[in-house]
């Protein structure tokens, strides 16, 4: 039987044909072929040039990427035990291969030769950036290490790969391992009809009477926000914030405690092996920020500005809950509930008020319309059936204003079993030009929205609309690149603290009436979003913005503190508790184990980089301020952003690209203004550990 991962080596992945037994043999074959080609290249590419050395290596890397992308994607969106087993079998093989490449002196010398050659000056700036990045990455891969340390480097990378996968799988299993079956409808008082209908549908799918709730966000969040039954909110809060930990209803079953400590110890060892003081210093070697102190100064400055507003937000909430509901002690599982009550009391609006105006099909039309007005692109469903991993998945083509196909993307919107939580964009195919022609980029856009219930379409909250715009911004960065060299095309080669710029940038249109008028219409009547409802939405935009800001800063500082620590490495929870004492105003109960499901830093690409969300938010807010000056649909400004940012990928320094668009360096004022945080009203928050001074 032929292996679809090997037979269909170009074009879109054959998702429905991929079985778990195909995965390991396919990877083994491609890795063996790549090794043979590399050995041949080393001997034939003399002297090495871009055409006879770098380009063939890029094509080998792309071949491996095209093989692994659908495997990794299926592991995230359609997990099963056989698939998981095959995926995990592959991780050490991939880790070994990458270490071999990073330690290959002949490859390193080839890049050095090209870098020292007069021909370097004749190459495109993006090609020069590829070579510059490769030389940097060789050093970060341990090319300078003696043999015994190279061996240890390889072991560490293997272990980190395995532990990251284990962390992610524990979170997924813990999320889907808890369910709440309810047959007494009185317990559902306060819940929106959409949440009850979803719970009813989930119960029916499992042949149960009544209602079934899970820890997937579309099921969990409405309970925390709206359920009048206090004990139900408490029960779900405990289950959610003790996932994959030593606490809660499944204590120790999928516990990530030891996994986290081992990951941190190995990261520290890896960094010091390469000559860095700690993992944060290692992480910053590929980012915009240059020193750990620069990051700490940035985060603590924002915290000092934001904490007074967070304290005000909390006091207002406590006063409201006490005066209107007699609440003397506000517990964490009550904060979302009474926050929604306060929001509605003050603005007569809630996420549920808005949901009927955001049916997903209409939101997609509006999202594509915004992109068309800004960048001249046209997005339409692919005319023929495309092989996907689930019947709900859609597939779209993206054309530019010259009717040229620029890229394509899969859209997977709904939460389901076997799919990890959250929302993300990932690469399926990377833009890459070879002698055979141009490989156009293809993206995966993934969300976890409430699916359609009965004859009712999927109805989004305004927060979910913002999430969709955010991920689509990442997608545009990947799809609209005009860079023909895969290592710096799209999001590749973009520093991780700049990569959120295009995504956060797109969120701004969710708050503009002219943009909402393109798609905000009642799913039953077609009536547009009323002006008075939009006014209330806008008035509530910065509701509890201080609390939200310090929460994000808490995550960022926790991440960075963990990765600047030196042995003996501190306990993870101890660091989180200390950060909370510094910047938070809401202190969770002792059983809260948020860190145990913090996949961004333990199983994603954000280790010692979570600060990048706020760093890039400064860039995105300042970039959008130019549209505020010129008009939110000003085509000339949109074209400037397209040509200066989206099309450039990682081929140039992001600060240079930003300044090309904005005409100056970024300024923080736009971020503070958009969050309702003024200047001159701050407190001093200083580092409390020696590593921060």
Residue 606 belongs to a domain: no
440 and 521 fall within a common domain: yes
Q: Output the average pLDDT for the chain.
A: 95
136 and 182 belong to one structural domain: no
Tell me: the pLDDT tens digits for 56-69? 999 999 999 999 99
The pLDDT of residue 690 is: 27
Q: Are residues 482 and 411 in the same domain?
A: yes
How does DSSP assign 241-266, residue by residue? Answer: TTTTSSSSTTTTTT--HHHHHHHHHH
Domain annotation covers residue 440: yes
Query: How many domains are there within the chain?
Result: 3
The model's pLDDT over 5-50, given as tens digits with 9 standing for 90+, comes to 997 666 899 999 999 999 999 999 999 999 999 999 999 999 999 9
What is the percent of the chain with per-residue pLDDT over 70, rounded to a whole number? 97
Q: How far apart are CA 565 and CA 348, in angstroms?
A: 46
Check whether 689 has a pLDDT greater than 90: no
CA separation for the pair 170, 117 (Å, rounded): 50
CATH number at residue 111: 1.20.1050.40
Query: Listing from the earlier edge strand, what are the strands of the sheet with 378-381?
Result: 378-381, 394-399, 405-414, 442-449, 424-429
Helix or strand run (H / E) with residue 622 = helix 612-630
Give the end of a domain, one of 474, 509, 539. 539
Tokens 């079956």 label which residue? 181
Q: Identify the CA nearest to 416 among candidates 593, 258, 218.
A: 218
pLDDT of residue 679: 52
* Residue 173 within a domain: no
What contacts 373, CB < 8 A, 6 or more positions away? 633, 635, 638
| pLDDT value, residue 684 | 54
Nearest to 548 by CA among 289, 346, 343: 343
Q: Is residue 63 part of a domain?
A: yes
Does the pLDDT value for residue 693 go beyond 80? no
Specify whether 376 is located in the same domain as 494: yes
Mean pLDDT, range 117-144, rounded to an integer: 97
SS3 of 214, please?
strand
Identify whether residues 85 and 224 lie together within a single domain. Answer: no
pLDDT band, residue 435 (cuts 50/70/90): confident
Q: What is the pTM of this model?
A: 0.95
The answer on 371 and 485 residing in a single domain is yes
Report DSSP letters for 326-341, one per residue. --SS--GGGHHHHHHH
Q: Which of 169, 269, 427, 471 is catalytic?
A: 471
**104 C-beta neighbours (distance < 10 Å), count:** 17
DSSP code at position 280: H
Higher pLDDT, 45 or 692: 45
Distance of CA 638 to the CA centre of its chain: 24
Query: Mind listing the pLDDT tens digit for each residue in 558-576?
Result: 999 999 999 999 999 999 9
pLDDT at 691: 25
Is 231 among the domain residues? yes
Q: Is the dihedral of CA 393, 399, 405, 406 positive or negative?
A: negative
| Residue 383 confidence (pLDDT) above 90 | yes
- Biggest alpha carbon distance in the chain? 81
User: For position 8, what pLDDT does the model report?
Assistant: 62
pLDDT in tens, 209-235: 999 999 999 999 999 999 999 999 999
pLDDT tier, 265 (very low <50, low <70, confident <90, very high otherwise): very high
Residue with tokens 């692109």: 377
- 469-490 pLDDT per residue, tens: 999 999 999 999 999 999 999 9
Does residue 212 share a domain with residue 109?
no
Nearest to 625 by CA among 458, 501, 505, 474: 505
Contacts of 629 (CB under 8 A, 6+ apart): none
Same domain? For 83 and 223 the reply is no
Q: Is the model's pLDDT at 688 over the cut of 50?
A: no
How many C-beta atoms lie closer than 10 Å to residue 126's C-beta? 21
Q: What is the pLDDT of residues 245-260, one digit of tens each?
A: 999 999 999 999 999 9
Coil, helix or strand at residue 220: helix
Find out whether the peptide bond into 499 is cis, omega within 30 degrees of 0: no
Residue range 370-387: average pLDDT? 97
In sequence order, the 6+-apart residues with CB closer than 8 A to the CB of 116 are none
535 and 400 assigned to the same domain: yes
Angstrom distance (rounded) from CA 336 to CA 331: 10
> So what's the pLDDT on residue 692?
22
Domain stops at, among 486, 520, 539: 539
pLDDT at 685 over 90: no
Compute, in degrees rounded to 10, the torsion defined by CA atoms 101, 102, 105, 110: 80
Range of the domain at 524: 355-539
Residue 72's Cβ-count burial label (10 Å; 0-12, 13-18, 19+) is: middle
pLDDT band at 381 (very low <50, low <70, confident <90, very high): very high
Residue at 40 is within a domain: yes
Compute CA 263 distance to the chain's CA centroid, rounded to the nearest angstrom.
20
Buried b (16+ CB within 10 A) or exposed e, 219-228: bbbbbbbbbe
656 assigned to active site = no
CA nearest neighbour of 180 among 241, 233, 251: 233
Tell me: pLDDT of 665 over 90.
yes
Residue 389, preceding peptide bond in cis (omega within 30° of 0): no
Query: Could you read off the pLDDT of 607-659 as tens digits, one per residue?
Result: 999 999 999 999 999 999 999 999 999 999 999 999 999 999 999 999 999 99
Q: How confident is the model at residue 239 (pLDDT cuts 50, 70, 90)?
A: very high
Q: What average pLDDT does range 279-292 have in this prediction?
A: 97
Host H or E run for residue 145: none
* Residue 677 pLDDT class (50, 70, 90 cuts): confident
Residues in the chain, overall count: 693
Q: What is the dihedral of CA 100, 102, 106, 108, to 10 degrees?
A: 180
Q: Domain end: 80, 115, 140, which one? A: 140
What's the rounded Cα separation, in Å, for the pair 682 and 686? 13
Residue in this structure with the two tokens 């008020």, named with its chain if needed = 353
Question: Tokens 């930003």 identify what position?
Answer: 658
Region of poorest pLDDT, from 250-259, 498-507, 667-676? 667-676
CATH of the domain at 478: 1.10.1370.40
Give domain status of residue 146, yes or no. no
Mean of the pLDDT values across residues 92-99? 96
Q: Is residue 616 part of a domain?
A: no
Whether omega before 326 lies within 30 degrees of 0, making that bond cis, reads no
Q: Domain check: are 395 and 485 in the same one?
A: yes
Q: Can you name the residues that pair with 182 across neighbouring β-strands?
A: 211
- Residues 365, 507, single domain; the answer is yes
Residues 125 and 188 grouped into a single domain: no
* Spatial distance between the Cα atoms of 4 and 22, rounded to a whole number of angstroms: 8
Q: Is the pLDDT of residue 687 over 60?
A: no
pLDDT for the residue numbered 11: 87
Non-local (6+) Cβ contacts of 603 within 8 A are: 164, 165, 167, 168, 171
Residue 595 corresponds to which tokens in the numbers above? Answer: 């860190």
Q: For residue 481, which of 645, 639, 623, 369 has the smallest C-alpha distance?
A: 645
């Amino acid at each position: 039987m032929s292996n679809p991962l090997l037979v269909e080596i170009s074009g879109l992945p054959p998702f429905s044909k991929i079985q778990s037994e195909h995965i390991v043999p396919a990877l083994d074959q491609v890795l063996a072929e790549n090794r043979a080609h590399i050995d041949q290249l080393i001997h034939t590419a003399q002297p090495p040039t871009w055409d006879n050395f770098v380009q063939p290596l890029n094509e080998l890397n792309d071949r491996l990427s095209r093989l692994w992308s659908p495997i990794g994607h299926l592991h995230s969106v359609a997990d099963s035990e056989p698939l998981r087993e095959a995926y995990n079998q592959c991780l050490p093989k991939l880790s070994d291969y990458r270490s071999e490449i990073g330690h290959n002196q002949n490859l390193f010398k080839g890049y050095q030769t090209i870098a020292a050659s007069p021909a370097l000056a004749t190459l495109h700036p993006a090609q020069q950036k590829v070579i510059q990045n490769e030389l940097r990455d060789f050093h970060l891969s341990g090319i300078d290490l003696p043999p015994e340390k190279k061996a240890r480097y390889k072991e560490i990378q293997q272990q980190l790969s395995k532990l990251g996968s284990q962390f992610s799988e524990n979170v997924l299993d813990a999320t889907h391992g808890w369910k709440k079956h309810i047959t007494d409808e009185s317990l559902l008082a306060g819940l929106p009809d959409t949440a009850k209908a979803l719970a009813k549908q989930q119960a029916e799918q499992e042949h149960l009477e009544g209602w079934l709730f899970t820890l997937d966000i579309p099921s969990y969040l409405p309970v925390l926000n709206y359920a009048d039954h206090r004990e139900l909110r408490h029960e779900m809060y405990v289950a959610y914030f003790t996932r994959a930990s030593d606490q809660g209803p499944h204590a120790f079953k999928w516990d990530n405690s030891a996994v986290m400590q081992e990951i941190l110890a190995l990261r520290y060892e890896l960094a010091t092996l390469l000559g860095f003081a700690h993992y944060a210093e290692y992480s910053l070697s590929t980012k915009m920020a240059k020193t750990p102190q620069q990051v700490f100064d940035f985060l603590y400055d924002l915290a000092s500005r934001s904490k007074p507003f967070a304290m005000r937000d909390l006091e207002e909430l406590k006063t409201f809950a006490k005066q209107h509901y007699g609440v003397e002690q506000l517990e964490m599982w009550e904060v979302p509930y009474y926050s929604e009550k306060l929001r509605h009391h003050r603005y007569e609006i809630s996420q549920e008020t808005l949901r009927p105006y955001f049916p997903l099909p209409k939101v997609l039309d509006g999202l594509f319309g915004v992109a068309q007005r800004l960048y001249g692109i046209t997005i339409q469903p692919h005319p023929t059936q495309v092989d996907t991993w689930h019947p709900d998945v859609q597939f779209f083509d993206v054309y530019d204003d010259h009717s040229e196909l620029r890229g394509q993307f899969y859209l997977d919107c709904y939460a389901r079993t076997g799919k990890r939580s959250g929302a993300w964009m990932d690469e399926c195919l990377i833009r890459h030009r070879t002698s055979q022609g141009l490989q156009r980029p293809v993206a995966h856009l993934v969300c976890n929205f409430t699916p359609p219930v009965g004859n009712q379409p999927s109805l989004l909250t305004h927060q979910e609309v913002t999430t969709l715009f955010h991920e689509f911004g990442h997608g545009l960065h990947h799809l609209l690149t005009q860079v023909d060299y895969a290592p710096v095309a799209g999001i590749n080669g973009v520093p991780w603290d700049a990569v959120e710029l295009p995504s956060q940038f797109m969120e701004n249109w969710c708050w503009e009436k002219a943009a909402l008028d393109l798609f905000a219409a009642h799913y039953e009547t077609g009536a547009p979003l009323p002006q008075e409802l939009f006014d209330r939405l806008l008035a509530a935009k910065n509701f509890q913005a201080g609390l939200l800001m310090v929460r994000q800063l808490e995550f960022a500082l926790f991440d960075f503190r963990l990765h600047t620590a030196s042995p003996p490495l501190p306990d993870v929870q101890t660091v989180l508790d200390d950060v909370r004492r510094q910047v938070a105003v809401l202190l969770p109960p002792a059983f809260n184990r948020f860190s145990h499901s913090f996949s961004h830093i333990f199983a994603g690409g954000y280790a010692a980089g979570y600060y990048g969300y706020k760093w890039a938010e400064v860039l995105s807010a300042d970039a959008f301020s130019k549209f505020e000056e010129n008009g939110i649909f000003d085509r000339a400004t949109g074209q400037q952003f397209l040509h200066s940012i989206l099309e450039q990928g990682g081929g140039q320094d992001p600060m240079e690209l930003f300044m090309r668009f904005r005409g100056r360096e970024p300024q923080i004022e736009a971020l503070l203004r958009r969050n309702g945080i003024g200047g001159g009203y701050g407190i001093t928050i200083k580092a409390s550990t020696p590593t921060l001074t």
